Amino acid sequence: MVFVRRTVLIVDDHAGFRVAARALLESDGRLDVVGEADNGADAIRATTRLHPDIVLLDIVLPDLDGFAVCESIMSDGSNPPAVVLISSRGPSSYRTRLSASPACGFLPKDELSAATLLALAR
Question: Over its length of 122 residues, how does the chain's per-residue pLDDT go in tens digits?
Answer: 566 899 999 999 999 999 999 999 999 999 999 999 999 999 999 999 999 999 999 999 999 999 999 999 999 777 999 999 999 998 888 999 999 999 999 999 999 999 999 999 98
- Which pLDDT value is given to residue 78? 78
Strands of the chain, DSSP E = 6-11, 31-37, 54-58, 82-87, 105-108
Q: Is residue 51 one of the residues assigned to a domain?
A: yes
57 forms beta bridges with: 11, 85
Q: Is residue 1 one of the residues assigned to a domain?
A: no
CATH number at residue 116: 3.40.50.2300
CA dist 46 and 37 (Å) reads: 7
Task: Look up residue 43 and give its DSSP letter.
Answer: H
- Which pLDDT value is given to residue 1? 58
As for how many domains the chain has, the answer is 1
CB distance 65 to 40 below 8 Å = yes
Domain assignment of residue 114, given as a range: 6-120
